[in-house]
Each structure stands twice: as structure tokens, then as C-alpha cells.
């Protein structure tokens, strides 16, 4: 499916009083293929965490090695230990093998059923039941279908439908039916809700039913097929002056959010595009740590270059919550990047003599290596697609 993007995100809450979450969520993206695994270890705490992590690691390794998804699930069940008392496996799991165009294959084992929503309604794809006779009786459910634009796929551990169990009015818990109704209502109220927001709202609602203290580990994950949100980040002057116009043409024709990082870069683009750069004087007065941002008509954000990118990279590597940061150019840059799906970096390769000053921090890296690291973080930690062009 052309011009489509598969957004993936999840949210997790550990059982109250436990330092480790007994659920594990794994996501790996290789080219057009994304592998997602949600495993729920038996019990809670460290033991459950180890078992669920073992499950997600095996599943991801097998499927990444092109093992058939059904065979991968069988091998996992053959490998996992069995509880001698309850005669059940030590971990349940949901495995999703997704292509960027929305083709989905899913294997489920003892996790709550996934929820597929289309046009505000729940769709029930056909599922193939697979009976296994390994060291015990086990059942898998396999389904395969094509997502359509704006479809949502939501899946979760049993801490969600079992939330509130035993409490007044919820003796049997929230239950699958209640969860599904809540997801439908969420999307009726906010049709453009992101995968991350769906996961977060669902997990927090489950904790709310538990009286604000999760009675079990809670993990929610979601996929959302939609048009991609694109961002162009331009930084550094081109190696040759004749490429200044090339860089300006890229900025002018780009459809999406536009960010310029670098004082010299903004001056070049201001000259080539005929758009003045206006420095934010209020930021200059209020912040001694960061260079101020600037305004250019048609550009979403204009900042200083290497220092701002370095700070943003450091915070992104640490998975810093944006809500905890003060409003400054670094936070605004992080917000644009994390809200994007496809990020195009255009990097000028002319050496900035200012960065050779020995008084500057020793870890201040040259621009191209900084962007390579930023690109890697955005792909591996935030599931973004990135492209880098050097000029």
C-alpha cells in the first residue's frame, strides 16, 4: 500500500509493589517488516519477567531468521517449562508479524484476543485453531489479514480484562467485552488517536479499575495504519557553495514539518529563499544554557545546530519524558521528531570552524556522526523511518 505508515507503540504498568514487570514487549523493525511480541510470564516479579523475556527473545529470533510464524510458536511451547501443579506453560504470548503495507499475521497463545477496529467498529477476522500435542495439550490461534487505512489493532495482557476483579460492581473484572467497548468509545471521541495514546489510555483505565494500584502486570500495544507524518531536518552548510541552492530547493519543495538546526545553515537558507531570520529575543534573555531559537516563515523550528542536537540526542537516548522538560528549543525539537514517522536528514558536510575551539566540550561530535547517532536512536528506540542525505 503506497504512502502508508504502520505506527507501533505500547504502554506498560507493573503490578503494584513489584520492581520488575512480569510482562515483556519486544519490537524489531527490519526494512518493511516489523515483529512484535507480547509475553506474559506466570505470576509476577523477577521470575515472571525472566520467563516472559525468554519468550519474547525466542520469538523475535525465530521470526527474524525467517522461521514460519506457526513453527516458531510451536518451538517456543516445546521449549518453555510447564508448571507441575497447574499443568500450564510458564508464559503466554501474542506474536504479530507486520509488513509496512499493513499485511498482518498473528499467533496467539492464552493471551486475551486482539481487537481489530475498522470505521469505528470491531472486526473479527477468521482464526485457525492449531492443536499441539507436545509435553502437554496446547492450543494456538493463527490469523492473517490486510489492514486498511485508519485501522487499529490493539492487543494486551490479561491484566487489562481482569482489572477490577473482585471489586464492587466488577466481580469478574472489566472483561474482554468491557475493554472492547472502551476502545470503541475512545476512538469515537478522538478518531485520530495515536497508537501510543490508545495504549496509554487503556492501560491507565485498567489501573483505575484496580483502584489506582495495578493488581497484575498491565501491558497494552497498538498498531495504526495511516498516512505518514514527515519531517525534514536540515543542518550544516553544504560542502560546496553551489549546493546552497540545492539545499534551499529541498526545503522549499518538502511536504511536512521543516526544521533548521544551525545558525550558518539558517543564514544560507534565508538568503536563498528570501525569508528573514528573526531571533527569539525572549529566549536569549531567559536562557543562559541554550542558544535561542529563531523564526522563519514556513519553517516549523529554527535552532542552533550541534549543541541543540547533542542535548536532544542525549535526552532521547534516555527515553526522557517530554512532559518533564521546560519549554525550550531542545524540547520542541524532540517533540517534532517523536511525533514524526519518516524523518529526512539533510546534512551539510562543510567543517564548522567554531567547533574546533578547544574550549567547547570534548564530546561535541562533528555533525555527520551526530546525525547518524540520532537516526539510529529514532529507528531503534522510537520505531521511526529515517533517511540521511549529505550535501
Q: Identify whether residues 222 and 296 lie together within a single domain.
A: no
- Checking if the pLDDT of 346 tops 50, the result is yes
**Sign (positive or negative) of CA dihedral 98, 103, 109, 113:** positive
CB 37 within 8 A of CB 25: yes
* Residue whose cell numbers read 505506527: 7
pTM of the model: 0.76
- Cβ neighbours of residue 130 closer than 8 Å, sequence gap 6 or more: 70, 139, 140, 141, 142
Domain boundary among 181, 205, 226: 226
Given this model, what pLDDT does residue 353 score? 57
Tens digits of per-residue pLDDT, 210-244?
A: 999 999 999 999 999 999 999 999 999 998 899 99
How many angstroms separate the CA atoms of 371 and 356, rounded?
Answer: 18
Q: To the nearest whole percent, how much of the chain has pLDDT over 90?
A: 59
Beta-carbon contacts of 128 under 8 Å, excluding residues fewer than 6 positions away, are 141, 142, 143
Closest CA to 226 of 118, 339, 150, 116: 150
Range ranked top by mean pLDDT from 135-149, 165-179, 222-236: 222-236
Task: Look at the block and give the residue holding cell 546552497.
Answer: 244
Query: What pLDDT, on the 0 to 100 scale, is given for residue 290?
Result: 82
Residues 364, 307 contacting (CB under 8 angstroms): yes
- Specify whether 218 is located in the same domain as 273: no
**Which of 119-123, 165-169, 265-269 is predicted with the least confidence, judged by mean pLDDT?**
165-169
Q: Give the CA angle between residues 256, 293, 318 to the nearest 5°.
A: 75
Q: Which candidate, 241, 232, 304, 298, places its Cα nearest to that of 270?
A: 298
Quote the pLDDT of residue 112. Answer: 96
Copy the grid coordinates of residue 82: 510447564
Q: Which residue has the higher pLDDT, 77 or 11?
A: 11
> Into how many domains does the chain fold?
2
Q: Of 226, 254, 273, at which residue does a domain stop? A: 226
DSSP state letter for 182? H
Give the single-character DSSP code of 356: G
Cell 472502551 appears where?
A: 182
Domain match, 292 and 173 both: no
> Rounded to the nearest 5 degrees, what angle is found at the Cα of 303, between the Cα atoms of 297 and 309?
140
Identify which of 242, 290, 265 has the alpha carbon closest to the alpha carbon of residue 345: 265
Element (H, E) at 337: helix 329-338
CATH of the domain at 10: 3.60.40.10
Same domain, 166 and 79: yes
Q: Are residues 221 and 235 in the same domain?
A: no
- Compare 248 and 359 and report the one with higher pLDDT: 248
pLDDT tens for 70-113 read 888 888 887 776 655 555 557 889 999 998 889 999 999 989 99
* Whether residues 171 and 263 fall in one domain: no
For residue range 289-308, what is the model confidence (pLDDT) as tens digits?
A: 788 899 999 999 999 999 99
Based on the domain organization, do 218 and 260 belong to the same domain? Answer: no
pLDDT of amino acid 362 = 41
Contact 295, 277 (CB under 8 A): yes
User: For residue 356, what are the domain limits?
Assistant: 230-390
CA dist 90 and 77 (Å) reads 9
Is pLDDT at 363 greater than 50 in this prediction? no
Query: By three-state DSSP, how is residue 358 classified?
Result: coil
Alpha-carbon distance 269 to 246, whole Å? 10
The mean pLDDT value of the chain amounts to 88
- Asked if residue 163 and residue 244 are part of one domain, the reply reads no
pLDDT exceeds cutoff 80 at 136: no
Indicate if 178 and 314 belong to the same structural domain: no
Q: Are 257 and 379 part of one and the same domain?
A: yes
Mean pLDDT calculated for residue range 6-10:
90
Answer yes or no: do 131 and 216 share one domain: yes
Q: Which of 96, 95, 75 is nearest to 138 (CA)?
A: 75
Residues paired with residue 7 on neighbouring β-strands, in sequence order: 224
Q: Does residue 159 carry a pLDDT above 60?
A: yes
105-120 per-residue burial string, b: 16 or more CB within 10 A, e: under 16: bbbbbbbbbbbbbeee
Domain boundary pick from 163, 191, 226: 226
Between 44 and 108, the more confident residue is 108
Long-range contacts, 27-30 (Cβ 8 Å, 24+): 27/383, 28/60, 28/64, 29/379, 29/383, 30/64
Residues 262 and 363 placed together within one structural domain of the fold: yes
Amino acid at each position: 500500500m503506497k504512502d502508508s505508515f504502520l505506527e507501533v507503540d505500547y504502554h506498560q504498568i507493573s503490578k503494584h509493589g513489584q520492581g520488575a514487570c512480569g510482562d515483556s514487549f519486544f519490537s524489531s523493525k527490519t526494512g518493511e517488516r516489523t515483529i512484535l511480541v507480547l509475553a506474559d510470564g506466570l505470576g509476577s516479579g523477577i521470575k515472571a519477567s525472566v520467563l516472559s523475556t525468554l519468550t519474547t527473545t525466542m520469538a523475535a529470533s525465530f521470526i527474524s531468521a525467517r522461521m514460519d510464524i506457526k513453527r516458531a510458536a510451536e518451538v517456543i511451547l516445546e521449549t518453555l517449562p510447564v508448571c507441575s501443579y497447574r499443568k500450564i506453560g510458564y508464559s503466554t504470548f501474542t506474536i504479530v508479524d507486520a509488513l509496512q503495507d499493513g499485511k498482518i499475521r498473528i499467533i496467539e497463545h492464552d493471551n486475551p484476543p486482539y481487537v481489530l477496529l475498522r470505521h469505528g467498529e470491531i472486526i473479527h477476522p477468521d482464526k485457525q485453531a492449531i492443536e499441539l500435542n507436545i509435553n502437554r495439550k496446547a492450543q494456538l490461534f493463527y490469523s492473517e489479514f490486510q489492514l486498511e487505512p485508519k485501522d487499529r489493532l490493539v492487543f494486551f495482557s490479561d491484566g487489562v480484562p481482569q482489572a477490577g476483579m473482585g471489586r464492587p460492581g466488577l466481580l469478574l473484572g472489566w472483561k474482554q467485552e468491557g475493554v472492547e467497548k472502551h476502545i470503541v468509545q475512545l476512538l469515537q471521541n478522538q478518531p485520530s488517536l495515536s497508537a501510543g495514546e490508545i495504549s496509554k489510555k487503556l492501560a491507565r483505565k485498567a489501573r483505575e479499575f484496580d483502584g489506582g494500584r495495578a493488581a497484575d502486570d498491565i501491558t497494552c500495544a497498538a498498531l495504526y495504519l495511516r498516512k505518514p507524518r514527515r519531517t525534514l531536518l536540515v543542518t550544516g552548510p553544504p560542502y560546496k557553495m553551489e549546493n546552497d541552492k540545492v539545499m534551499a530547493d529541498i526545503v522549499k519543495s518538502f511536504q511536512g514539518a521543516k526544521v533548521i538546526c544551525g545558525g550558518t545553515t539558517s543564514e544560507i537558507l534565508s538568503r536563498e529563499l528570501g525569508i528573514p531570520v528573526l531571533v527569539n529575543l525572549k529566549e536569549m534573555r531567559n536562557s543562559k544554557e541554550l542558544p535561542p531559537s529563531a523564526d522563519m516563515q514556513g519553517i516549523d523550528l529554527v535552532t542552533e545546530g550541534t549543541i541543540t542536537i547533542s542535548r536532544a540526542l542525549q535526552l532521547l537516548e534516555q527515553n526522557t519524558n517530554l512532559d518533564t522538560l521546560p519549554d525550550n528549543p531542545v524540547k520542541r525539537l524532540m517533540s517534532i521528531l517523536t511525533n514524526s514517522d519518516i524523518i529526512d536528514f539533510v546534512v551539510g558536510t562543510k567543517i564548522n570552524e567554531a567547533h574546533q575551539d578547544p574550549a567547547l566540550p570534548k564530546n561535541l561530535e562533528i555533525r555527520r556522526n551526530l546525525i547518524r547517532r540520532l537516526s539510529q536512536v529514532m529507528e531503534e528506540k522510537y520505531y521511526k523511518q529515517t533517511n540521511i542525505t549529505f550535501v
